[in-house]
Amino acid sequence: MLATILVFLGGGIGSALRHGVNLATARFLGTGFPYGTLTVNVVGSLVMGLLAGFFAFKGEGTQAWRLFLSTGIMGGFTTFSTFSLDAALIYERGQMDMALVYVLASVVVSILALFLGLFLVRLWS
């Protein structure tokens, strides 16, 4: 139960941070390009790398901190950071082909699924 609460609280914080980044980038850079999404994806991937490295190489932190920071805050901020970590871990295991398949499948299939969702809504409207 504590794990769920930690993820829930962290997710709220991460989502609020994402919203703030989206507002700030729209205000300062405009809305003609998805600067907010790009920013949270890049910053989130950097922070996830820092967290994963800290937990793995420094041996610091409890499972509670990992859940709160990585799954909670970073999950609320951007799931792209987890996608990036997964791809990097597969690559570091020496499975370059599998990493490429994972990246391409995730991006292409996700975009196709979005278009399918749009199509289905239009079909039923």
Q: How far apart are CA 102 and CA 105, in angstroms?
A: 5
Q: Is 75 annotated as a binding residue?
A: yes
Q: How far apart are CA 59 and CA 30, in angstroms?
A: 42
Q: What is the 3-state secondary structure (H, E, C) of 49-90?
A: HHHHHHHHHCCCCCHHHHHHHHHHHHHHHCCHHHHHHHHHHH
Q: Is 71 annotated as a binding residue?
A: no
Q: How far apart are CA 30 and CA 93, in angstroms?
A: 40
Query: Which region holds residue 95: left if phi is over 0, alpha if psi is between -120 and 50, else beta?
Result: beta
Q: Check: CB of residue 85 under 8 Å from CB of residue 51.
A: no
Write out the binding residues for Na(+).
Answer: 75, 78
Write out the binding residues.
Answer: 75, 78
